[in-house]
Amino acid sequence: MSEREENTTHFGFKTVEEEKKVELVAEVFHSVAAKYDVMNDVLSMGIHRIWKRFTIDCSGIRHGQKVLDLAGGTGDLTAKFSRIVGQEGHVVLADINDSMLKVGRSKLRDLGIEGNVEYVQANAEELPFPDNHFDLVTIAFGLRNVTDKDKALASIYRVLKPGGRLLVLEFSKPIYKPVSKFYDFYSFNILPKLGKLIANDSESYQYLAESIRMHPNQESLKEMMENVGFEGTEFFNLSAGIVALHRGYKY
């Protein structure tokens, strides 16, 4: 295998050089940032709110603790965690994309959420935080866009305190064939058309559909988490496995 082949990865169904993927993903989220929340509601028919509520319920987060909402986008989880941890706690909304961070900061300030929230532009593979720092790290609908997922999971493990936990909320593999067939039809025929209609961007939503298909399935992601040191790892299938929540602990 040539050095060029060794340094390639997938961008949706395309094969690209690893360093190029970060740039391509950035272009997608620069494009969709302004309409991100609207599209989430339309494309999931509002169900993403239930998935995120389940994530909050599984977090075990308490008053005064520290949370990293990684790839936190427009801050839905950050808003909830900010209220739970209170002013004695601290929430970091981190995203590699500055357009998403700007939308998130503006949205949360409009909601009156300030004081205990910090905004950091950061790459999940090389988190700029101390070892053993956070009680909880969440990454919702972001891990599939990371170039080196193993490196990102190891970076997350490093910044978690002993006893801390990781929650990965991500699109996954439907567990029933009829659901899978409908989901494929919706993803590749309806989703890009809605992207064009609402956000004037069909290509970004075509990529999002493809990126979901390239993401590890439930068992594979669980194994990846265990390989970097997470224990007590488990996952919960939501909406028949269209989405899964993985949880692991650093002991």
Is position 123 annotated in a ligand binding site? yes
160-205 pLDDT, tens digit each: 999 999 999 999 999 999 999 999 998 888 888 888 887 777 887 8
Q: What predicted TM-score, i.e. pTM, was given to this entire model?
A: 0.88
d(CA 228, CA 89): 27
Q: Give the burial class of 175: count Cβ atoms within 10 A of its Cβ; 0-12 exposed, 13-18 middle, 19 or more buried.
A: middle
Is position 69 annotated in a ligand binding site? no
**Is the residue at 1 inside a domain?**
no
**Is the residue at 92 inside a domain?**
yes
**Is the residue at 2 inside a domain?**
no
3-state secondary structure of 245: strand
Q: Give which of 220, 224, 208 is closest to 11, Cα–Cα.
A: 208
**Is the residue at 37 inside a domain?**
yes
pLDDT for 191 equals: 85
Is position 110 annotated in a ligand binding site? no
Of the chain, the end-to-end C-alpha distance in Å amounts to 39
3-state secondary structure of 93: strand
The band of 3, judged by pLDDT with boundaries at 50, 70 and 90, is very low
Range of the domain at 100: 29-175+207-249
Backbone CA torsion sign across 50, 167, 85, 114? negative
**Is the residue at 16 inside a domain?**
no
32-48 pLDDT, tens digit each: 666 677 777 877 888 99
Element (DSSP H or E) covering residue 24: helix 18-32
3-state secondary structure of 116: coil
Q: Give which of 71, 74, 202 is closest to 141, Cα–Cα.
A: 71
Beta bridge partners of 166: 137, 248
Average the pLDDT over 60-76 and give the result. 95
**Is the residue at 195 inside a domain?**
no
**Is the residue at 17 inside a domain?**
no
Average the pLDDT over 144-157 and give the result. 95
**Is the residue at 60 inside a domain?**
yes
Is position 124 annotated in a ligand binding site? yes
* CATH number, position 130: 3.40.50.150
d(CA 147, CA 8): 10
> How many domains are there within the chain?
1
